[in-house]
């Protein structure tokens, strides 16, 4: 199991899609940020301002990036990159645990 040291954790969580997607923000000593969260089964569309690295720690989902026409399967232990200023879609039938790094 991965563990982060020396971080500040936001007490207030982030909630999207009526609570179906939730996360907590971690801020590191160098100012970088990550979010740790869960995605409930369903289909969702997100937009990004900055580039992101989405690491799936458990579960399985399919992702469709704005510059792709096909869905890609991603499971626990795998990741995908999201370009800055873009949109992406996620669909899943399982609970997904993730870590998002803002690049």
d(CA 27, CA 58): 22
Task: Specify the pLDDT at position 24.
Answer: 97
Task: Specify the pLDDT at position 67.
Answer: 86
Per-residue pLDDT tens, the chain, 103 aa: give them. 488 999 999 999 999 999 999 999 999 999 999 999 999 999 999 999 999 999 999 999 999 998 889 999 999 999 999 999 999 999 999 999 999 999 9
d(CA 6, CA 16): 27
> Where in the chain are the domains?
7-102
Rg (CA), the chain: 13
Show the CA angle centred on residue 23, arms to residues 18 and 27, nearest 5°. 145
DSSP 69: S
CATH superfamily of 7-102: Jelly Rolls (2.60.120.10)
- pTM of the predicted model, to two decimals? 0.91
Tokens (6 digits) for 100 = 């998002």
């Amino acid at each position: 199991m991965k563990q982060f040291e020396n971080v500040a954790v936001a007490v207030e969580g982030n909630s999207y899609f009526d609570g179906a997607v939730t996360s907590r923000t971690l801020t590191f000593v160098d100012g970088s940020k990550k979010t740790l969260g869960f995605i409930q089964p369903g289909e969702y569309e997100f937009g990004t301002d900055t580039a992101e690295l989405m690491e799936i720690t458990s579960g399985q989902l399919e992702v469709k990036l704005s510059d792709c026409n096909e869905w890609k399967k991603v499971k626990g232990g795998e990741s995908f990159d999201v370009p800055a200023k873009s949109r992406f879609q996620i669909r899943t039938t399982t609970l997904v645990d993730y870590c998002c790094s803002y690049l």
